[in-house]
Amino acid sequence: MERQRIVKVLETPTSEKSLTVCGWVRTFRNDRFLAINDGSTLNNLQLVIQRDEFKDDVLKQLNTGAAVEAVGVLVESQGGGQAVELQVVELKVLGGADPDEFPIQMKKHSLEFLREKAHLRFRTNTFAAVFRVRHLLQFAVHKFFHEAGFFQIHTPIITGSDAEGAGEMFKVTTLDFDELPKNEKGKVDFEKDFFGKPSNLTVSGQLEAELAAMALGQVYTFGPTFRAENSNTSRHLAEFWMIEPEIAFADLKDDMKLAEDCLKYVLAYVMEHGEDDLVFLENREKQAEKQLPEKDRNAHSLRERLSNVVESEFVHMTYTEVINTLRNSKPFKKKKFKFPVEWGIDLQSEHERWLVEKHVGGPVIVTDYPAEIKAFYMRANDDGKTVAAMDVLVPGIGELIGGSQREERLDVLKKKCADFNIPEEHVWWYLETRKFGSAKHCGFGMGFERLVMYCTGMTNIRDVIPFPRTPMSAEF
Ligand code: 4AD
Ligand code: MG
């Protein structure tokens, strides 16, 4: 008999016909009630078994974590808590889970403990909910762009370029480290390497997406990106996923509108299709926040925050306005900020978070940053000091999206390459799009894990990607 997924079974009215379900045991109470979960939904199915119909050796194996298959009839539940339950006629233990060894017991485990057990943490309600929401979000991203007339482009993962110019790249090589070939200058001879030149894992698909946008008009790439920055924070991964749209014939205003529309669309999609999981995550957050001092708790519940984002207009501020606001702020005057605040600095997370959490209380789009602190490809503004950049900052996270209008003027871009020490021969192909049919265009990058954090209320980025890669950690 074909297995039914529990999400469907729970939607079914009672049925005379017997059906088959599979799942992992969550609890076994009174030798009679077995709650199983198959991952298709947060909700468990209650199986009711008649003790004397099953051998003791079967009953003995019904421990938390065991995999079972059951055949039975769906009846109206006698107890509260669920509408239906399965009266079991056949029960098979597919795989036992020794209670002395299985680490995921029904008691509450800390997220830190579960990170060490990333291979099993999917079995908890929290992680299953997070990864179902993660799935919904990525589906909504594709749906949003498809409906808006974008084409997905698969940009390369191995590349020779450093799009962001931050130099935080993982090398890709097949050279033998014990016998590195050297050139006449005594340096490693990359001509002997697999690609005949140094190559690395991409930090961003943007440069290639731009090439495609200059023909297909509106494209996006959504893939893994890699950064070897040694920052062990709760918001940085060495391997993360990024959504990068790129649009031709568009300027920074269009870019900001696209970012705002996209964010609202995907959050609204999860609110509509992932309600059970969001309610669960909202309660989990409330519980977790009980440990925190009042001032560190969220003023609004998870779903209130999400609907505020969906319903509000994002606040816009220029970088210069932000600096002035920060310098007039209480924490600045009371010397509470760790990092200095003056025109030209890169905004630190403490500044971004004060701005969105305390000053505005919602997402803020910051524009027109100093050219020196942003990447070479951003379009120079007429003031000669700033570039047409925009970052979307959100409460709890800080920077969620970074984007810009792109420099489409060949002469200006060549000068930027020189200023940033980027040899033209490394980016000749990028420069050629400015030579042939150049046009204004723009795009942004949204960190997918930061989006999942924002949508689930999880506060550590390691808890929203199945197998996090961070400095000194690549287990599993
Ligand atoms: O601001 P970033 O560096 O921008 C770019 O890479 C551009 N090429 C995007 C574009 O215009 N197409 O990164 C974009 C976003 C950040 O706002 C942040 O959300 C996320 O990517 N991000 C990270 N997420 C997790 N771990 C890291 N180490 C991240 N670095 C950036
Ligand atoms: Mg950025």
Give the model's confidence band at 97: pLDDT under 50 very low, under 70 low, under 90 confident, else very high.
very high
Starting from the CA of residue 447, give the closest ligand. Answer: 1
Give me the mean pLDDT over the 455-475 stretch: 96
Same domain as 134, residue 59? no
Which pLDDT value is given to residue 123? Answer: 95
* Closest Cα to atom 31 of ligand 1: 447
Q: Does any domain span residue 369?
A: yes
Q: DSSP alpha helices (H): ranges in 32-124?
A: 56-59, 111-115
Query: If phi over 0 gives left and psi between -120 and 50 gives alpha, with beta otherwise, what is residue 44?
Result: beta
Compute the distance between CA of residue 102 and CA of residue 96 in angstroms, rounded to an integer: 10
For residue 146, which of 251, 215, 243, 260 has the smallest C-alpha distance? 243
Which pLDDT value is given to residue 81? Answer: 79
Which pLDDT value is given to residue 92? Answer: 94
- For the chain, the domain total comes to 2
Q: DSSP alpha helices (H): ranges in 205-251?
A: 206-216
Question: Is 80 exceeded by the pLDDT of residue 80?
Answer: no
Give the model's confidence band at 21: pLDDT under 50 very low, under 70 low, under 90 confident, else very high.
very high
pLDDT tens digits for range 1-16: 799 999 999 998 888 8
Which pLDDT value is given to residue 266? Answer: 98
Question: Is 90 exceeded by the pLDDT of residue 257?
Answer: yes
* Closest Cα to atom 7 of ligand 1: 445
- 239, 262, 367, 450: residue to mutate for ligand 1 pocket, most atoms within 8 A of CB: 450
Cα 301 to middle of ligand 2, angstroms: 28
Q: Which two tokens stand for residue 64?
A: 């938390």
Task: Pick the range with the lowest mean pLDDT from 54-58, 63-67, 154-158.
Answer: 54-58
Which pLDDT value is given to residue 55? Answer: 80
Which pLDDT value is given to residue 12? Answer: 85
pLDDT tens digits for range 196-237: 999 999 999 999 999 999 999 999 999 999 999 888 899 999
Same domain as 378, residue 239? yes
Which pLDDT value is given to residue 108? Answer: 84
Give the model's confidence band at 167: pLDDT under 50 very low, under 70 low, under 90 confident, else very high.
confident
Whether ligand 1 lies within 6 angstroms of the CB of 449 is answered as yes
Q: Does any domain span residue 22?
A: yes
Whether ligand 1 lies within 6 angstroms of the CB of 352 is answered as no
Compute the distance between CA of residue 453 and CA of residue 457 in angstroms, rounded to an integer: 6
Residue 33, beta-bridge partner list: 29, 48
Q: Does any domain span residue 423?
A: yes
Compute the distance between CA of residue 116 and CA of residue 475 in angstroms, rounded to an integer: 9
For residue 220, which of 255, 202, 246 has the smallest C-alpha distance? 246
Those residues with Cβ within 8 angstroms of residue 463's Cβ, 6 or more apart along the chain or in another chain: 111, 114, 115, 127, 130
Average pLDDT over all residues of the chain: 95
* Residues found in the chain: 476
Compute the distance between CA of residue 111 and CA of residue 117 in angstroms, rounded to an integer: 10
Whether ligand 1 lies within 6 angstroms of the CB of 244 is answered as yes
Starting from the CA of residue 228, give the closest ligand. Answer: 1
* Closest Cα to atom 11 of ligand 1: 444
Q: Is the dihedral of CA 84, 88, 94, 96 positive or negative?
A: positive
Check residue 49 and report its DSSP letter.
-
pLDDT tens digits for range 305-354: 999 999 999 999 999 999 999 999 999 999 999 999 999 999 999 999 99
Q: Which two tokens stand for residue 321?
A: 């306005």
Q: Does any domain span residue 164?
A: no
Same domain as 144, residue 85? no
Same domain as 128, residue 45? no
The larger pLDDT score, comparing residue 161 to residue 305, is at 305
Per the listing, tokens 């890169």 go with: 346
3-class SS at 288? helix
Same domain as 383, residue 429? yes
Same domain as 133, residue 91? no
Give the model's confidence band at 431: pLDDT under 50 very low, under 70 low, under 90 confident, else very high.
very high
Whether ligand 1 lies within 6 angstroms of the CB of 400 is answered as yes
Q: Does any domain span residue 171?
A: no
Q: Which two tokens stand for residue 294?
A: 């009042």
Same domain as 351, residue 220? yes
How, if at all, do strands 158-159 and 15-29 pair?
Answer: unpaired
Which domain does 97 fall in, by range?
A: 6-102
Compute the distance between CA of residue 102 and CA of residue 106 in angstroms, rounded to an integer: 11
Which pLDDT value is given to residue 231? Answer: 83
Compute the distance between CA of residue 355 and CA of residue 421 in angstroms, rounded to an integer: 34
Q: Are 141 and 176 contacting, i.e. CB atoms less than 8 angstroms apart?
A: no
Same domain as 356, residue 277? yes
Same domain as 138, residue 66? no
For residue 38, which of 80, 81, 1, 8 has the smallest C-alpha distance? 8
| Strand ranges for 187-238 from DSSP E | 199-201, 218-226
Same domain as 150, residue 70? no
CATH of residue 411's domain is 3.30.930.10
Question: Is 90 exceeded by the pLDDT of residue 79?
Answer: no
Give me the mean pLDDT over the 410-439 stretch: 95
CATH of residue 39's domain is 2.40.50.140
Q: Does any domain span residue 281?
A: yes
Q: Does any domain span residue 196?
A: no
Same domain as 440, residue 332? yes
Cα 154 to middle of ligand 1, angstroms: 17
Q: Does any domain span residue 197?
A: no
Distances in Å between the Cα of 338 and the Cα atoms of 166, 199, 350 are 23, 37, 8
Share of the chain above pLDDT 90, in %: 89
pLDDT tens digits for range 392-412: 999 999 999 999 999 999 999
Which pLDDT value is given to residue 57? Answer: 83
Same domain as 318, residue 252? yes
Give the model's confidence band at 56: pLDDT under 50 very low, under 70 low, under 90 confident, else very high.
confident
